[in-house]
């Protein structure tokens, strides 16, 4: 006989356990979904996301289209529709205007240079020394040193191009300065190559009176045919 003291298991307990297991699984799934959604960053706004997509299109667009204003139709020549392209006459007029502006700038620089000299070297105290050459068969000029009242004021080294210009009749303003009214002494030393290509150095001196007004002196290098030697002199332009 079967033991009546131990109760038999209920038939409905197994389905209940299954329902409980299913409910636990559903809760775990929902919890995992909520955790995943919390860790995922929120998507950017649609306007912000669309902006990068529009940038490549703007870069890829032709230069003519990018420069065109909205609603303006640009032709193949890069000129908006309805406007005429620049003609040769327009270009020539622009070139003439550019050249005129360049000339005005050059004239303005010259005027400023003259004004600067007048301010720095007024006529009452101004003294200028020039240098010229004639023929140049017996002397090839290298440098000139000037002393005024025993004080060196300039030591100028000439280039072959400058010497060639002097031999063609050019005159070089060697020195421009200020002196007070009264007696002064100028000494010039010439260095270069003399006859037979030998080193040559000679000097010349002059005493002059500085009055009211500008003073001009000229250093002259000449060839003396009788002695076959160069000659150096200082001329006072009174």
Q: How would you write the pLDDT of the chain (238 residues) with one tens digit per residue?
A: 444 444 444 444 454 455 555 555 555 565 555 545 544 454 554 444 444 444 444 444 444 444 445 555 555 555 566 666 667 777 777 888 888 888 888 888 877 766 766 666 677 889 999 999 987 778 899 999 999 999 999 999 999 999 999 999 999 999 999 999 999 999 999 999 988 888 999 999 999 999 888 999 999 998 887 878 888 999 998 7
Question: CA angle, corner 148, sides to 132 and 179, nearest 5?
Answer: 100
Residues 6+ apart with CB under 8 A from 112: none
Q: Which of 101, 107, 129 has its CA nearest to residue 236?
A: 129
CATH number of 126-237: 2.60.40
Beta carbons within 10 angstroms of residue 190's beta carbon: 21
- d(CA 170, CA 100) in angstroms, rounded, equals 30
Task: In whole angstroms, give the CA distance from residue 48 to residue 66.
Answer: 22
d(CA 108, CA 119): 16
d(CA 238, CA 231): 22
pLDDT value, residue 176:
93
Specify the pTM. Answer: 0.52
Q: For the chain, give every domain's residue range.
A: 92-121, 126-237
Say what the pLDDT of residue 56 is.
45
pLDDT recorded at residue 87? 74
Three-state secondary-structure class, residue 180: coil
Question: Which tokens hold the place of 214?
Answer: 């500008």
Please count the CA atoms within 13 angstroms of the CA of 63 that sit on its side-chain side.
3
Interatomic CA distance for residues 128 and 216, integer angstroms = 5
């Amino acid at each position: 006989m079967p033991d009546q003291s131990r109760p038999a298991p209920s038939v409905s307990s197994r389905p209940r356990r299954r329902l409980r297991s299913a409910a636990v699984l559903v809760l775990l799934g929902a919890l995992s979904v909520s955790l995943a959604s919390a860790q995922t960053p929120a998507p950017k706004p649609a306007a912000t996301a669309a902006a990068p997509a529009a940038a490549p299109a703007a870069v890829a667009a032709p230069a003519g289209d990018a420069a065109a204003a909205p609603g303006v139709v640009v032709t193949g020549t890069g000129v908006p529709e309805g406007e005429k392209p620049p003609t040769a006459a327009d270009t020539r007029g622009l070139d003439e205007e550019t050249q005129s502006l360049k000339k005005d700038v050059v004239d303005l620089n010259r005027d400023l240079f003259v004004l600067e000299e007048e301010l720095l070297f007024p006529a009452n105290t101004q003294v200028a020394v020039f240098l010229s050459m004639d023929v140049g068969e017996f002397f090839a000029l290298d440098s000139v040193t000037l002393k005024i009242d025993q004080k060196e004021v300039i030591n100028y080294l000439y280039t072959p191009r400058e010497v060639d210009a002097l031999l063609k009749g050019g005159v070089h303003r060697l020195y421009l300065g200020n002196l007070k009214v009264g007696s002064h002494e100028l000494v010039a030393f010439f260095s270069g190559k003399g006859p037979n290509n030998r080193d040559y150095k000679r000097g010349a001196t002059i005493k002059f009176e500085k009055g009211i007004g500008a003073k001009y002196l000229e250093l002259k290098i000449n060839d003396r045919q009788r002695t076959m030697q160069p000659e150096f002199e200082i001329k006072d332009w009174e």
